[in-house]
Every structure is written in structure tokens, then in C-alpha cells.
Amino acid sequence: MRLAVYTDYTYMQDAEGVTGERAFVRFMVALAPEVEHLTLVGRLRPEPGRSHYALPPDVGFVGLPFYSSLTRPFAVIGSLGRSAVRFWRMLDDVDTVWLMGPYVHAVAFALLAAARGKRVYLGVRQDYPVYVHSRHPDRRWIHAAATVLERTFQTMARRWPVAVVGPDLARNYHRAKRVLTLTVSLVSDADLVAADAAVARTPATPMRVLTVGRLDREKNPLLLADAIAGLRARGVDARLDVVGDGPQRDALAARVAELGIDDAVALLGYVPIDGGLLELYRGADVFLHVSWTEGLPQVLFEAFAAGIPVVATDVGGVAAAVGDAALLVPAGDGDAAADAVRRVREEPGLRERLIRAGAARVREHTMEHEAQSLARFLAED
């Protein structure tokens, strides 16, 4: 199989090669050993430079015209013609395409690939209308556009198979021709921490709480400060490391200052998974995830792999995917989050159960396992 994968991601290029900005690039690259040749397709920044995740020399790349955001419709539509030309030319060298959406370019690329007689597969990582509404609550035209694109993709999935992330999205695409439910994992088999070793480790004082994710509105980052303040009010000495960046960073810093917990919260910015993030996971005592909306966050499986207990909001496909491997709390409830983290601290039996359940869960969903499952799906007629 000569496979091309399109995502609406930004890449950079310099004399050393091509790099991607999102960790999902690692998952796509993991498909390379499973196919004859892999080509990634995405927006290429016009200025030379490097980002976080390097593409191996044996992975091809097709750069599309750059636009800064999907919220700029004229720039998106303006890039479509030149993007279509480049994609059409690339189709000479591939026989199968996997198109992540629902985006305007993904819809156009599916039609072009079908016209060339190529095998078309779709991919969906999140409930797009829910995601857009959470991120842009006051921009109704964006809500309408997201709904149209989602329904278009659902209609297309009746003709072409679709791989979705998490059981919640699988239900959204139950009318599809074929559905593969994926867990996007960036954890290799070699990264797994043995459950016995994790259970035996003595929790630190003060307690080290870790959260990882983009600081966007839909991730509800301000609740992190409320949870840590709540832990202190409950007599728990806790420190929070926040890994990630985004438009809510300044608001989170302001909330931390307002609550007087500057000494307990460290905003670390973006840390690549192969550039120190795994070490942060392994040094934490509990992982806290407080999103308003999710498909299936890969960070939960990274925490499972590191052998740390997880507290997460019960949203999207989280509950169905993690089962009893995480302690789930209602979205937006800082008191519930603080109480759950305190329970992990004060109940050794609960801590051990969560660690062992997480270790068992992640063994079934390593990056290699999921890439092999996806490759088999893409090879089926």
C-alpha cells in the first residue's frame, strides 16, 4: 500500500528536513513500517524553520499553501485551488488516501481521489460541531459551517470507510460503510512503566499533580487553578505542573494569582513527548484532566503508561474508553476534581487499583498496536 495521509496541520521545512507542530505526527509516522510508502500532506509555512516532530527521511511530504486558521474562510477557500492541484499530482504516486476531517480540503481531496480511482478512507478525531461551539461560543456562522461539514462527512462515510477516535464518535458514524474505533496513542511498547514498580513508588510531598493539554477554552484550564486551591483548602499540600500553551495561558496565570497560589502552579509551556514530557509524567503523583469536551484524549493513555493514577472529567468518549482505569468527575466541578485528587492521595487501595487498571488498559493501545490495527483497516476492501 502506498498511503497518503492528510491532516489540517502546519509543517515547517529547513535544510534538515520537514517537521510537524502536533504530536499526532508521531502516530502518522508510526504507519510507515506498515505500508510500502507513506506520504503526509498538510499546510507548509512559507518561512523556513523547525517545529517539534521531525519526519523521517523515508516519509514523503506534500506541502499545501499556507493559511493561518480555519476561521479565516476566504484564506481557506483561496488556498483550495492550488491545494487541489498539488494533491492531484501526488495521487500519481499513491493508491490509498486517509483524510482527516471534517474540513473543506478533506472533502475536496476525497472527491479527487475517487475520480482517480484511489482507495478513500476518512478519519475523525473529534465531534467537530461540539468542538467549534466550545472554542468559539459567540460565532454562529462558524457553528453552522461546522455542522454542515460534519453532516457532509457523515454522508461521505456511507460510501467510504471511516476510522474514528473513541466510541463516542463511533456512535456518531454508526451509519458508515465500515467503522474502526481507534485510540490515538503516542506511547511505544518500550515506554510502559511496570505496574508493580509504579505502585511501589512513594508519592511525593508536596503532592505533584500534572496536566497536559492545549490551553484553549474547551479544555477549561481555569478550573485547574480552582482545583489546586480546593486541595489546599482541604489540607493537601499540592503542586501543579501545567504542560501546554494556548490562548487561555494569560487567563490561567491571572486566575492563579487571584487565588494566591502562584507558588503552587508552574506553567511550563509546550513540552514535546520525546523532549522531556515522559519524564514529567513519571515524576507526577496524579494526572488531572478537566476538559469541557473531548473525543478521546491521548494524554490519558500517556498517564496510564507512566503508571500514575488519573482523574478526568466524564465527557465525550472518555468513560467508555477508560472504563475503571480513571476516577471520573463532572465537567466544570472544581470541588469534585479536588475531592477526587485528595482521594487518590489518601486511599492507597484506590491509587493501586487505578494504576493497575491503567497499565492493563494501555497495553492494549500502544502506538504500535494502534498503527497496526489502522493499517489492517486501510488494507481491507
Q: What is the pLDDT of residues 201-239, one digit of tens each?
A: 998 889 999 999 999 988 999 999 999 999 999 999 999
The number of residues making up the chain comes to 381
The per-residue DSSP string of 322-370 comes to: HGGGSEEE-TT-HHHHHHHHHHHHH-HHHHHHHHHHHHHHHHTS-HHHH
* Contact criterion met (CB below 8 Å) for 219 and 251: no
SS3 content of the chain, % helix, strand, coil (to 5): 45, 20, 30
Query: Are 24 and 123 within 8 A, CB to CB?
Result: no
Q: What's the CA gap between 306 and 211, in Å, rounded? A: 13
3-state DSSP assignment of residue 116 = coil
Place of cell 466544570: 332
Output the tens digit of pLDDT for each of the chain's 381 residues. Answer: 999 999 999 999 999 999 999 889 999 999 999 999 999 999 999 999 999 899 999 999 999 999 887 778 788 889 999 999 999 999 999 999 999 999 999 999 999 999 999 999 999 988 888 777 877 777 788 889 889 999 999 999 999 999 998 888 899 999 999 999 988 888 888 889 999 999 999 988 899 999 999 999 889 999 999 999 999 999 999 999 999 999 999 999 999 999 999 999 999 999 998 889 999 999 999 999 999 877 678 899 999 999 999 999 998 878 888 889 999 999 999 999 999 999 999 999 999 999 999 999 999 889 999 999 999 999 987
Share of the chain above pLDDT 90, in %: 77
pTM of this prediction?
A: 0.83
- The whole-angstrom separation of Cα 58 and Cα 44 is 19
| Structure-block grid coordinates of residue 331 | 465537567
Cβ contacts of residue 10 below 8 Å, gap of 6+?
A: 20, 21, 42, 43, 44, 45, 51, 66
Distance CA 367, CA 188 (A): 5
Residue among 230, 292, 238 nearest 255 (CA): 230
Alpha-carbon Rg for the chain in angstroms: 21
DSSP character at residue 223: H
Determine how many CB atoms are found less than 10 A away from the CB of residue 267. Answer: 17
Tens of pLDDT, residue by residue over 122-154, are 999 888 887 778 777 777 888 898 899 999 999
Amino acid letter, residue 144: A
Q: Which residues contact 365 (CB under 8 A, 6 or more apart)?
A: 183, 185, 301
Position 203: which residue type?
Answer: P
According to the model, what pLDDT value does residue 120 have?
Answer: 98
pLDDT (0 to 100) of residue 320: 83
Give the integer Cα–Cα distance in Å for 120 and 162.
9
Contact 311, 343 (CB under 8 A): no
User: What local confidence, expressed as pLDDT, does residue 294 receive?
Assistant: 74
CA-CA distance, 115 to 107, in Å (whole number)?
13
Q: Is 381 exposed, middle or buried (0-12, 13-18, 19+ CB in 10 A)?
A: exposed
Phi, psi angles (nearest 5°) of residue 359? -60, -40
Nearest to 327 by CA among 293, 336, 335: 336
DSSP characters over 87-108:
HHHHGGG-SEEEEEES-HHHHH
How far apart are the C-alpha atoms of 146 and 151, rounded to whole Å?
9
What is the secondary structure of 253-289 as a DSSP string? HHHHHHTT-GGGEEEEE---IIIIIHHHHHT-SEEEE
Return d(Cα 11, Cα 17) in angstroms, integer. 10
> pLDDT of 178-194, one tens digit each?
999 988 888 888 889 99
**What is the C-alpha to C-alpha distance for residues 26 and 275, in angstroms, rounded to an integer?**
13
